[in-house]
């Protein structure tokens, strides 16, 4: 019998309280976030939130390669092929439940620590971004690579990417650029860099602490624990900080075609910085539909609440499921692995306002679980 895809335990603390530990347990799949994982975590996280003896929660993952490499899209892919533009009830459940969990994490009433070691991408960033305490390690590699699979940065990405310094969030969304621990801290996706080998020390300190059972005080105490664990660990250079002005210049303006022209020029420029140039080339290979919807959401969300953004993303995600690029991107990257998707439309210039509206329109009734978010 196989082990559960999420493992739960509780460790005792010095004053008789407990600290919940949730471990994503699919290391062979780089802990890709599945519906089964979400259905285990939602009720458990809610139960821990209501249990006065549980003072905090830690979310981690099995294995050394990845915290979470994104959503588990293989089963979703089959439903995209079967349903086409028709109603896809599996996709409705997949995105509704994932966004419920992400929103719960963002609004969790107790300290919630995410240990983001290794690969943290897509749905994994969605899990990490809302935690009260986000740890990255020297081996962390963080990205929102949805443009490569014909999707857009969902899981609240429209909200947290918009709140990064300058236009770094838009740059990450359009180029799928990977960032390191220092970049993650600079953008606000992470709070501390702690070497992986000190995780045991952090757990020991959590267990040795006398917690107050008061969220504000306990969050401050957990921050002190992580700051002590991070001492003496030098941050690597931050590419985003180094190229901040260049990125803002590349991403300037309110017309995506202007941005695309600048990225195209950078991709072919002799002597350009290799990291920026690779990002520009990734944009050129990504789905034009993904770039267009990502930019439209970037323009729409600045004054929206997190709950409103999740509801908007729900319609956007179902819109992508009803069109061809999402299935084609999954095929090219995860199924056939030929890395040669045939996007429709193939050019950004061919995307119309009507095409964008069709992706973002209401499809049926908003689920009550998402209507209830405040």
Among 265, 132, 85, 117, residue whose Cα is nearest residue 200: 117
SS3 assignment, position 179: strand
Active-site residue, from 56, 71, 118, 319: 71
Choice among 116, 123, 156, 286 that is catalytic: 123
Task: Determine the 3-state secondary structure of 312 from DSSP.
Answer: helix
Q: Which of 97, 98, 102, 146 is catalytic?
A: 146
- Of these residues, 92, 100, 154, 325, which one is catalytic? 154
Give catalytic status of residue 71 as yes or no.
Answer: yes
Give ∠ CA 307-288-366 in degrees, rounded to 5: 25
Q: Which residues, including other chains, have CB under 8 Å from residue 51's CB and lie 6 or more apart?
A: none
> Tokens standing for 256?
């995506």
Distances (CA, A) of 269 to 76, 186, 249, 258: 39, 28, 16, 17
C-beta atoms surrounding 327 within 10 Å? 24
The DSSP secondary-structure symbol of 33 reads B
Known catalytic residue: 221? no
Query: CA distances (Å), 204 to each of 12, 15, 118, 235, 343, in order?
Result: 10, 14, 22, 24, 50
**Residues noted as catalytic:** 71, 123, 146, 154
């Amino acid at each position: 019998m196989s082990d559960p895809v999420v493992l739960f335990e509780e460790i005792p603390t010095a004053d008789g309280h407990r600290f919940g530990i949730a471990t994503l347990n699919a290391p062979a799949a780089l802990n890709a976030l599945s519906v089964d994982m979400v259905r285990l975590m939602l009720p458990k996280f809610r139960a821990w939130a209501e249990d006065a003896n549980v003072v905090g929660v830690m979310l981690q993952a099995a294995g050394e390669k990845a915290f979470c490499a994104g959503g588990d899209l293989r089963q979703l892919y089959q439903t995209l092929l079967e349903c086409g533009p028709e109603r896809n009830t599996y996709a409705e459940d997949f995105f509704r439940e994932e966004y419920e969990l992400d929103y719960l994490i963002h609004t969790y009433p107790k300290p919630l620590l995410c240990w983001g070691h290794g690969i943290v991408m897509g749905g994994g960033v969605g899990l990490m971004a809302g935690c009260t305490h986000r740890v990255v390690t020297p081996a962390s590699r963080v990205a929102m690579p949805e443009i490569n699979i014909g999707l857009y940065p969902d899981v609240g990405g429209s909200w947290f990417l918009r709140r990064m310094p300058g236009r770094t969030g838009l740059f990450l969304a359009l180029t799928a650029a990977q960032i390191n621990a220092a970049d993650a801290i600079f953008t606000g996706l992470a709070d501390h860099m702690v070497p992986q080998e000190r995780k045991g020390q952090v757990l020991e300190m959590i267990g040795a602490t006398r917690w107050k059972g008061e969220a504000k005080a306990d969050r401050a105490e957990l921050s002190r624990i992580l700051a002590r664990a991070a001492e003496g660990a030098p941050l690597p250079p931050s590419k985003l900080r180094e190229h901040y002005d260049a990125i803002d210049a590349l991403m300037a303006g309110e017309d995506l075609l202007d941005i695309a022209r600048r990225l195209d020029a950078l991709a072919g420029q002799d002597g350009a910085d290799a990291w920026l140039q690779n990002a520009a080339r990734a944009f050129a290979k990504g789905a034009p539909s993904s770039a267009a919807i990502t930019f439209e959401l970037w323009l729409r969300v600045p004054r929206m609440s997190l709950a409103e953004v999740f509801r908007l993303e729900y319609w956007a995600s179902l819109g992508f499921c009803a069109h061809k690029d999402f299935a084609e991107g999954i095929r090219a990257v995860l199924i056939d692995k030929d890395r040669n998707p045939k996007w429709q439309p193939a050019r950004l210039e061919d995307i119309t306002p009507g095409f964008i509206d069709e992706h973002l329109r209401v499809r049926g009734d908003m689920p009550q679980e998402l209507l209830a978010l405040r």
